[in-house]
Amino acid sequence: MTATAVGFYLLSAVAVAAAVMLVASRNVWHAVLALAVVSLAVAGLMLTVSAEFLAFVLVLVYVGAVVVLAVFAILLTGNFGRSALPSSNELTVLAGLTSLALTALVAGVLLSRPAATAAAAGQFTVRQLGELLLGPFVLPFELVSVLLLAALIGAIVIARGQED
Amino acid sequence: MTAWLPLLPEFIIVACLGAVLLADLLLPRDRSRRVLAGVALAGTLLALVAVAALPDGSFGGVYAADGVARLVKILVLAALGLVVLSAWTWDQTWKRPMGEFWFLLLSAGLGMMVLASGQELITLYIGLELATVPMVLLTAYCPADRKSAEGGLKFLILAAVGSGVLLFGLSLLYAAAGATRLADLAQALVGRSLEPMVVIGLLCVLVGLGFKVALVPFHLWVPDAYEGAPTPVTAFLSVASKTAGFVLALRLLAGAFAALSREWGMVLAVLAAATMTLGNFAAIPQTNLKRLLAYSSVAQAGYLIMGLVAGDTLGLSALLYYLAAYLPTNLAAFAVVIAIEQASGSTDLAAYAGLAQRSPRLGLVLMLALLSLAGIPPLAGFTAKFYLFTAVFGQGYVWLVVLAVLNSALSLYYYLRVIRAVYIQPPERLPATGVAVAWPLALVLTATLIGILLLGVFPGLVVESARQAVQHLL
Amino acid sequence: MGALSLEHYLVVSSLLFGLGLFGVITRRHAVALLLSVELIMLAVALNFTAAACFLGHAAGQVFAIFVITVAAAEAAVGLAVVIAIYRTQQDADLDRLTVLKG
Amino acid sequence: MIANAWIIPLLPLLAAAVVALLGRRVTRLAGGLTASAVFFSLVISLKLLILLLANPRVNQMTWPWLQSAGQLALEAGLLVDPLSAMMLVIVSFVSLMIQVYSLGYMSDDPDRPRYFAYLSLFTFSMLGLVLANNLVLMYMFWELVGLCSYLLIGFWYQKPEAANAGKKAFIVTRFGDLGFLIGILLIGHLLNTFNIAELGQAVQAGKLTGGLATTVALLLFAGAVGKSAQFPLHIWLPDAMEGPTPVSALIHAATMVAAGVFMVARLFPLFTASPDALTVISYIGGGTAFLAATMACVQNDIKRILAYSTVSQLGYMMLALGCGGYTAGIFHLLTHGAFKALLFLAAGSVIHAVHTNRIWDMGGLGRTMKITSLVTLVGALALAGVFPFAGFFSKDAVLLAVAHSGRLDLLVIGLLTALITSFYIFRLFFTVFTQRPAAGKSGHESPLVMTLPMLLLALISTVLGFWAEPIQQFLGQSLGAAAAEAGHDRLIPLLAFIAACFGFGWAYLVYYQRAVSAALLARRFSWLYELLVNQYYIDAAYQWLVRRLLFAFSRVLAWFDRNVVDGAVNGVAWLCRQTGSLLRLVQVGRLSAYLLALVLGLLIMAVTVLLTQSAVLALP
Amino acid sequence: MLSLILAIPFAAALVIMFLPRERVTWPRWVALAGTLVGLAATLSVWFRFQLTQGFQFLETAPLLPSLGISYSLALDGMGLAMILLTAIIIFTGVLASWDHLERPQEFFAMLLVLVTGVFGVFMARDLFLFFLFYELAVLPMYLLIGIWGTGRKEYSAMKLTLYLLVGSALMLVGLLALYFSGEGRSFYLPDIAAKAFTPGFQKLFFPVLFLGFGTLAGFWPFHTWSPDGHASAPTAVSMLHAGVLMKLGAFGILRIGVELLPQGAQFWAPWLGLFTLVNIVYGSLVAMAQTDLKYVVAYSSVSHMGIVLLGICTLHPVALNGAVLQMFSHGIMTGLFFALVGMVYGRTHTRIIPDMGGLAKQMPFLAVAFTVGGLVSLGLPGFSGFVAELLVFMGAFRVHPVYAAIAVTGILFTAIYVLRVVQKIFFGPVRESFHGLTDANGVEKTCLAILMLVMLGVGVYPASLLRVINLTVEPLTALLRSLP
């Protein structure tokens, strides 16, 4: 078992455990924390396939942006006292069974699949990715800026509420 | 430079976005801000002209301006223009800033145009998000209204989960096929329909598409979002979003996943049956016209998806024609809803009592729109349904056609309930002087009415180009 | 336990995906729910990244970048809507959000 | 001349149309107009008869009426032969008499145009019926005759009894017509022709025999049973008295009831093809004759007595026809037409004078109404069959035919009926004309316009019998050689005469001399009296059938339609609405439920598709 | 020319919609003018029609070539008879609605739209067009009944519309099956007729088409929309509906069902014929138990349409001729009836039979007309109904003597209820409450007189119509005879 493999299993375990915490914790702060952990673990997993740039972006966006936004949201909704909402509702059992079955199915399908690709074949540099982004994928790249702008403008206008 | 030419319509919209943003900053906060609407409308019309005028072309193999794209973009832009006109005077009703509204509307339109042309998964995905996120924001645009905020949140979360599932499916398919271009995907997937991972990926994609076009059981956001959203937004959602969703489904299923057509054909046939049936049944007890139309649009999605089930030239061109027919029809209905909402502040069926006697023209438009939805000749909906059912029948789905025609008859039940309120019941809440209709809305009513009649009587206007476009595609 | 294959990554992400789905169904706190959505997006991003590496096809990583970006945008929009709802209802319990039904 | 026969029915039709269209504008002229039309018809009919007397043969003329794919060509055609010529004369003559009489009788009625239009239409229908050369055309006129009787019986529509009686007449006869129509259809199916002459040839060629022939004959006869008021469809005729009296005369003498007898005579070759059918006809005829005569004995309404008498006499005719006495039957029809018209007109005259129908409210009218009483006596004698009046000869011919056929039982019934006939008619005569006048009912003689027709009819009733032989011979030529000639017999007329005398004597004792109390008799034979007064409970049985059975059944069906057939429809609608309300509950409004549905949907889809795939793979 | 017939009522409807609202009498004049011109156009077609088999006045233009849809109109004998019927009924229908109610603009406009659909069905030579006009003819009914009806109008209107559309749903399935069976994709009727449908196909789809069309023709047990619908509808609509619309169903069965699927028809006809007997006898018996005048007439329509359907089910040429003639005859007759019911109701304000009586005194003309209608209904010779029924019975007798014998009893029951109704309404003593009521006015008299004269004319000289109808029946018969 290579170091990569060890890292993979370790990080996977962390990611899954944190994810469980995310969906099961009673405290919303714990959930935020769990998301940060999952993000980091997944970033680590990305590193195991040498996708350093992706890992970087992931940490930057998830830990740097999403988590911060979530913290702000929790603070803004003034929910310190009631952050410990019941973590789940009465659909839990049904939801659990369904999700479990689905996950088992998907995982089972994946596991039963002949491992067609045995080794990581491609490592891409930031430059390569940048060329792609400005080459064939320039259009989505441009569009995503429109999307972000729209999301920003919209988020502000909605969050600001109805002033008059 | 010429390489970018096929993107001209999109650029026009982007330029228009900038113009709206700029004007919003510069203009004083008074009624002159209706200029913004004018800007949006002008941009839309310009883009429409560009779409219609440009020849076929493509951009880097990831973006195609082909016949299907042209047709769908015309529909989206037409819807956009008509919705801009319908929302023209809503600054008074809403008391909300309109600059951002036009911006979001236009960007959603842009996303839909991208969906129409995208030839590659990433582009399509961004287009999808661009078409969805602004719509979510527009749905929640009046958060002081509990319904708007709630509808927006439900829409948002379901949209996010839906696109998450879609993405997960795409990622599996990508893992299986190693391609993001639709053409490459199609090639890579040939003969792999029995691979379980591919199947799972496909089904995840179907869920995402099902969410977007509102197939049962992924339709549950539709009634809530439609009812919650400001009515012009609902109108846009019901027409343009649906059109974009269907063209996405067409591109993916008939294009990229053509090799898996047996799988998705089977699933979609069942979903179509469930969708039209549930949509129609659930519409029966509704008392709010917006909600009723929401369920009706669910049912319509059930009919529409049959075009994909048929999957051949006839079926896909029927799908496009149906979308074209659906556009003026549904917009006409919503235009009347808007007019009544502005006059009485309600979208309850009770507010429509005696409309035909107070405002005969509004009553007539609403009746024709609903009858067209029900598929009554000589209106657009009839010809479209006939064409669609013919196509589906031709592919051997006789049971589905039987179910669909029975559903059409059933749907008439609740449409007639509305018509009953409009024509038969005596006026109660409507002002005796009739319902005042501002000129932009009057324009919408006229245009959609003409569309309903024209497309019904001269189906050849759209059908031929749809056929050619689809033939080219397959 | 052989060498790592793509399937390993796919399985992990499918676990995350499943947990995310479980989370979106069961979480009543709006923010927590949005975090579960982010979990799903994480799973997807991992899938694309891993697949790109194993297939040697860079587009998958580009896809992952877009997914991460859009996920952030969605989070922003979602949180804005949550805040807006909180303004009117002083409550973040999603199960009490049932004005619209039937 | 013969080619112009179509003018005969057309004249009354035109008159009817003119009067109907002009309506109240010709109130005064209406009667004159229609009567003159009938007069011209009579003139032409007479010329026709004379022509045929000189040269008795069968003439036909046809016009195409409709053609249909499937080798069906119907034509409108006339058949002029001795039978129809004779009938034309009698119909138009009696009609004329009655129209003239009506000029006086109806002189006060503001609705005269309608009345005369109906009368004229009636005449037209009957003339058309007589002339029709094929079954379809015959059926058409047959129905028109029924219609006219409906209209005329219900002429005073504001009287509920009159309206009811008209309806009853139409429906009861239509019941028989049903059989007639089915018979016609069956003939068309079997022989592929409706032409009467061709039918005769086909039957003689043996194309229709055995059970089918009997079926056809009986179905056709059903029509005659209805129209000619034979048992068991005779119930409409007594009620038909609610119409104006001249109408009764017309119905009883020359049009409606004659139609049935005429039809049997016209289609006689068909009937002869089935001896069984003839037997049935003769027994129904005989039975009707007897039953109706007995019922006539206990009636109190002068017109009802005459009505039952008509039923009885029609039974005679049927009896004769059933026994093969073709000419005898028709001849009796002729004489009966004359004397029954006479009796009715006389009765009308009486009613006109005393404004009542009850014979017990009359009495002693012989003193004030000399002419009327005289003609009534003539009519009564004719009806009773007293020499030398016409009835004697025709009844004699009927009984001869019966005797000739060898059915002694029927002969006895015939003779018994003759006795009873004589009794009831003199019961009437004595009660009305000879007894003490009832208080305030002295009466007065009718005007000339009414008495003249009566006198003319009386004359004919008296003398017609002397031409019995030539007329019968002439009529027989319609059938060609097939006419069976009854031989002469001295015994039968004697027996009939004795029976008539007995009847007369009995009536004389009871109602003139009052030697025997009628009331006592009624009490002594109360069961019989009850039975007769209630018309053997036949009417009641029909009432029960229609009210209790038919209407109840129709109400049950209506309930079924409303609640079961339509209930199923409404049930489906209800189910749809309920389903809608139920499905509405799916939309609980909770986000978590929506998401669950999404995930569950995905799971189910995945499982189903994968299972299906593996199932398909597992297939060989 | 045929397009003109189609366009005239539609144009009139458009004109009416754009009339100034305050001019309440203008719509009826426009409607009258439109229907009169339409009648004139129809008559001109009638006189220019050549007495030859096959279709005439063909007009065709591509509508949707990719699907094989064309705008094709043509007429044969049966179609000609039917458009004549339609033109007469709508003209008299406008007359019968002369002193109309509120919202005349919408009323006449919708009435004329409906008639456009009816004309279209009778002239269509393309299945798509046929279906289009068929539905167009059904739908305005909803509002016409819902707005201007009486009694449980909304319920009836809804039931009628949905019922008929479910029927047309079945029909559509059948039409599509015809389109897709065999080679060639065309909705043009001659193209479809040229296809050789397999016996199995014919047996499968004939009942589908029959039931689809049969629903509109009042086929038992799918008839219950008609009594409620007819009873609730305003006069002119009842006239049109019972008079013409129900004929669309029978017309469709002949034109589409029997002509295109003769073997299927041959296979199913005896069984379907059994149901038509139920129609005839059951319809008349149920009519007997009704107390509402309109329900009586409506159930009588069910019964009479049973005769039409029986005629079709015999597949015998004579009966087919009779069936088409009966369509015409019943159309006129029931038009007359409903016009009369409307006029009587307009005066007495009741339709409950026991509440009426003695009206002949106040309204002699109406009484006469009603009696005439009743007589036609019970098959009195001299009127059109007799000839039609006689032909049906004659044909039926050659094929199913027992059916025919049972069917004939229906006319007896008809006689019973018709005469009962006539008596109860018009005869008997005059009632105090009806003093001062007037007889028909000039417009009403014109309307009734036209209808009565048509019935009389056809009854006295049926060849006038029959030779035209025969032109359709003869080739059909030849087709049926050529079957194995």
Report H helices in B27-98. Answer: 34-53, 67-86, 90-94
pLDDT digits (tens, 9 = 90+) for B328-385: 999 999 999 999 988 888 889 988 988 888 888 899 999 999 999 998 888 999 989 9
Q: Taking the C-alpha atoms of D428, D432, D433 and D435 in order, what is their torsion angle to the nearest 10 degrees?
A: 110
CA distance D564 to chain B (A): 22
8 Å CB contact between B130 and A150: yes
Residue B3 class from Cβ within 10 Å (0-12 exposed, 13-18 middle, 19+ buried)?
Answer: exposed
Q: Which stretch of DSSP H or E encloses residue A62?
A: none
The rounded percent of chain E whose pLDDT value lies above 70 is: 100
CA distance C100 to chain D (A): 6
Q: Is D132 helix (H, G, I), strand (E, B) or coil?
A: strand
Q: How confident is the model at residue A117 (pLDDT cuts 50, 70, 90)?
A: low
Query: Would the pLDDT of A120 be above 70?
Result: no
| Alpha carbon distances (Å) from B64 to B6, B59, B114 | 8, 6, 9
Q: What does the pLDDT read at residue B210? A: 93
| Alpha carbon distances (Å) from D332 to D328, D340, D458, D463 | 6, 11, 16, 14
**Chain B touched by D577 (CB under 8 Å):** yes
Tokens representing D454 are: 């009566």
| Alpha carbon distances (Å) from D81 to D12, D471, D484 | 21, 13, 18
Among D122-136, D439-453, D568-582, E390-404, which is the least confidently predicted range?
A: D439-453
8 Å CB contact between D437 and D364: yes
Phi/psi of residue D561, nearest 5 degrees: -65, -45
For chain A, the residues whose C-beta falls within 8 A of a C-beta of chain D are: 89, 91, 94-95, 98-99, 101-102, 105-106, 109
Contact B123 A112 (CB under 8 A): no
Contact A109 B200 (CB under 8 A): yes
**Chain B touched by E101 (CB under 8 Å):** no
Residue of higher predicted confidence among D106 and A13:
A13
8 Å CB contact between D221 and D288: no
Average pLDDT, chain D: 82
Q: What does the pLDDT read at residue E430? A: 82
**For residues C67-80, average pLDDT:** 90
Instruction: Identify the CA nearest to D395 among candidates D374, D427, D425, D372.
Output: D425
Q: What does the pLDDT read at residue D532? A: 76
8 Å CB contact between E56 and E76: yes
**For residues A63-86, average pLDDT:** 73
Q: Token pair 């496909």 is at which residue?
A: B202
Please give the Cα distance from E80 to E45 (Å, whole number). 8
- Chains linked to A by 3 or more Cβ pairs within 8 Å: B, C, D
Q: Which of residues 96-155 of A touch B (CB under 8 A)?
A: 105-106, 109-110, 112-113, 135-140, 143-144, 146-147, 149-151, 153-155
Contact A162 B143 (CB under 8 A): yes
Among C2-6, E126-130, E288-292, which is the least confidently predicted range?
A: C2-6
User: For residue D373, what are the contacts with CB-CB under 8 A and spacing of at least 6?
Assistant: D365, D366, D433
Q: What does the pLDDT read at residue D440? A: 55
Contacts of B126 in chain A (CB under 8 A): 140, 143-144, 147
Q: Taken in order B144, B131, D601, B250, is the CA torsion positive or negative?
A: positive
Q: What is the pTM of this model?
A: 0.88
| Alpha carbon distances (Å) from E331 to D179, D488, E340, E410 | 28, 61, 14, 19
Q: How far apart are the first and last CA of chain B?
A: 29
**Chain C touched by D591 (CB under 8 Å):** yes
Residue D535 class from Cβ within 10 Å (0-12 exposed, 13-18 middle, 19+ buried)?
Answer: buried
Helices D370-384 and D448-463 sit at what angle, rounded to 10 degrees?
30
Q: How far apart are the first and last CA of chain E?
A: 40
Please give the Cα distance from D462 to D379 (Å, whole number). 8
CB atoms within 10 A of CB A27: 14
pLDDT digits (tens, 9 = 90+) for D82-115: 888 888 888 888 888 888 888 877 878 888 888 8
**For residues D439-463, average pLDDT:** 76
**Chain A touched by D581 (CB under 8 Å):** no
Within 13 Å, how many C-alpha atoms sit on residue A157's CB side? Answer: 24
Average pLDDT, chain E: 88
Query: Would the pLDDT of B165 be above 90?
Result: yes
- Chains linked to C by 3 or more Cβ pairs within 8 Å: A, B, D
- Tell me the sheet residues that pair with D64: D75
Buried b (16+ CB within 10 A) or exposed e, D153-186: bbbbbbbbebbbbbbbbbbbbbbbbbbbbbbbbb
Phi/psi of residue D33, nearest 5 degrees: -60, -50
The CA-CA-CA angle for residues E420, E424, E429, to 5°, reads: 140
Length of chain A: 164
Please give the Cα distance from B213 to B194 (Å, whole number). 26
Within 13 Å, how many C-alpha atoms sit on residue B362's CB side? Answer: 27
Buried b (16+ CB within 10 A) or exposed e, D308-343: bbbbbbbbbbbbbbbbbbbbbbbbbbbbbbbbbbbb
Q: Is E150 helix (H, G, I), strand (E, B) or coil?
A: coil
Q: What does the pLDDT read at residue B335? A: 94
**For residues E380-407, average pLDDT:** 88
Instruction: Identify the CA nearest to B373 among candidates B267, B283, B278.
Output: B283
Q: What does the pLDDT read at residue B291? A: 92
Among A96-110, D183-197, E319-333, which is the least confidently predicted range?
A: D183-197
Please give the Cα distance from B388 to B411 (Å, whole number). 17
Q: Please name the member of E132, E154, E166 whose beta carbon is closest to the beta carbon of B409.
A: E166
Q: What does the pLDDT read at residue A86? A: 59
Contact C26 D591 (CB under 8 A): no
pLDDT digits (tens, 9 = 90+) for E145-167: 988 888 888 888 888 888 888 88
CA distance A138 to chain D (A): 33
Tokens representing D185 are: 């259809």
Contact B378 E67 (CB under 8 A): no
User: For residue D275, what are the contacts with CB-CB under 8 A and spacing of at least 6?
Assistant: none
Please give the Cα distance from A152 to E320 (Å, whole number). 76
8 Å CB contact between B190 and B259: yes
Among B13-22, B99-108, E457-466, which is the least confidently predicted range?
A: E457-466
**Chain A touched by D619 (CB under 8 Å):** no
Tokens representing B48 are: 């429409």
Please give the Cα distance from B126 to C40 (Å, whole number). 17
Q: What does the pLDDT read at residue B234? A: 94
**Chain E touched by D216 (CB under 8 Å):** no
Contact D587 C25 (CB under 8 A): no
CB atoms within 10 A of CB B396: 11
8 Å CB contact between D505 and D423: no
Q: Token pair 């999307």 is at which residue?
A: A147
Please give the Cα distance from D405 to D279 (Å, whole number). 10
Contact C51 B178 (CB under 8 A): yes
8 Å CB contact between B122 and A137: yes
Contacts of B139 in chain A (CB under 8 A): none
**Chain A touched by C96 (CB under 8 Å):** no
Instruction: Identify the CA nearest to A123 among candidates C9, C50, C53.
Output: C53
Q: How confident is the model at residue E357 (pLDDT cuts 50, 70, 90)?
A: confident
Q: What does the pLDDT read at residue B240? A: 93
Supply the ipTM of this predicted assembly: 0.89
Chain D interface, mutation test: which of E416, E421, E425, most D Cβ atoms within 10 Å?
E416
8 Å CB contact between E113 and E140: yes
Please give the Cα distance from B107 to D356 (Å, whole number). 101
**Chain D touched by C25 (CB under 8 Å):** yes
DSSP D435-499: SPPPTT----PPPHHHHHHHHHHHHHHHHGGGGHHHHHHHHHTTSGGGPPPP---SHHHHHHHHH
Contact C51 B171 (CB under 8 A): yes
Query: Would the pLDDT of C1 be above 50?
Result: no
Task: Tell me the residue type at A154.
Answer: G
Phi/psi of residue E188, nearest 5 degrees: -70, 125
Between the ranges B326-330, C6-10, D519-523, where is the mean pLDDT highest? B326-330
Residue of higher predicted confidence among D474 and B200:
B200
Phi/psi of residue E50, nearest 5 degrees: -90, 140
- Chains linked to D by 3 or more Cβ pairs within 8 Å: A, B, C, E
Query: Would the pLDDT of B440 be above 50?
Result: yes
